[in-house]
Amino acid sequence: MASVMLSDDDLERYSRQLLLPAFDLAGQEALGRARVLILGLGGLGSPAALYLAAAGVGSLVLVDGDAVEPSNLQRQLAHGEADLGRNKARSAADAVAALNAAARVEVVAERADEARLQQLAGRVDLALDGSDNYPARFALNRACLAAGIPLVAAAAVRTEGQLATFHPAAGGPCYRCLVPEEGATSALSCSESGVLGPVVGTLGSLAALEALKVLAGYGGDLRGAVLTLDLFNYQIRRLDLAPRPDCPDCGR
């Protein structure tokens, strides 16, 4: 992979990250080389995309086939009133460009099927799942398994959320080890159950943090564990998750 040379402007822009022990130049250069796929540019994907771009991740592939609706504006902060009716991936790409013009952005303005996700996953270093339905999550999980890349998966509804990183190629479970059943076509949805905007913002920000740590090799991550958050009562737990021998996607 090509090296990334930091300019004087870069050194100033990312100076607060460069001050972190065990991150410094090597971590920043790793982010500059990194390519990240984000599936879903809603409440989770919006803050994740913005934080990854702000941190200096070199390339983002933004995938979403939906259009911005008025009810999105309460929590999907990559979009504004002027974006109503626009494709979310295109809207988010403009928000990323306004924040960091150096970030390279590829827009995939479609509801990508499994074959398309496998194609995209094969040319990135990490995928971040901000989707809201099980078929998309399962398809992205299989695409990441095929590509051998880590998957950072976040979910949030009402005042609750969860976050995990799956990377069986490096050991540990996949997403289907956590959710083995095919289940309903849609996860519990914000449109039916409600959500406070800062809840999805918190989970999207944590997903970005997790992606940055994995890409830069900085500190511990959530491989082999699930972080659950009940923000109504501020209860946060980290639960161990083992691979399932009978997992429909990664079971040996």
Cβ atoms within 10 A of the Cβ of 99, count?
14
Residue 235 lies in a domain: yes
Residue 52 lies in a domain: yes
Q: For residue range 122-161, list pLDDT tens digits in order.
A: 999 999 999 989 999 999 999 999 999 999 999 999 999 9
Sheet holding 59-63, edge to edge: 104-108, 59-63, 35-39, 126-129, 151-157, 160-166, 225-230, 235-240
- C-alpha radius of gyration, the chain, whole number: 17
Which CATH number goes with the domain that contains 126?
A: 3.40.50.720
Residue 245 lies in a domain: no
pTM for this model (two decimals): 0.94
- C-alpha 252/C-alpha 243 separation (Å) is 10
Q: Reply yes or no on whether the pLDDT at 183 is more than 80.
A: no
Q: Are 44 and 200 in contact (CB under 8 A)?
A: yes
- C-alpha 165/C-alpha 173 separation (Å) is 9
Which residues form the domain of 180?
8-240
Residue 251 lies in a domain: no
Residue 72 lies in a domain: yes
Q: For residue range 199-242, list pLDDT tens digits in order.
A: 999 999 999 999 999 999 999 999 999 999 999 999 999 999 99
Q: Could you tell me if residue 190 is left (phi over 0), alpha (psi between -120 and 50 degrees) or otherwise beta?
A: alpha
User: Looking only at Cα atoms, what is the longest distance across the chain?
Assistant: 52
Q: For residue range 10-47, list pLDDT tens digits in order.
A: 999 999 999 999 998 999 999 999 999 999 999 999 99
Mean pLDDT of the chain: 93
Residue 159 lies in a domain: yes
Domain count within the chain: 1
Residue 2 lies in a domain: no
Residue 211 lies in a domain: yes
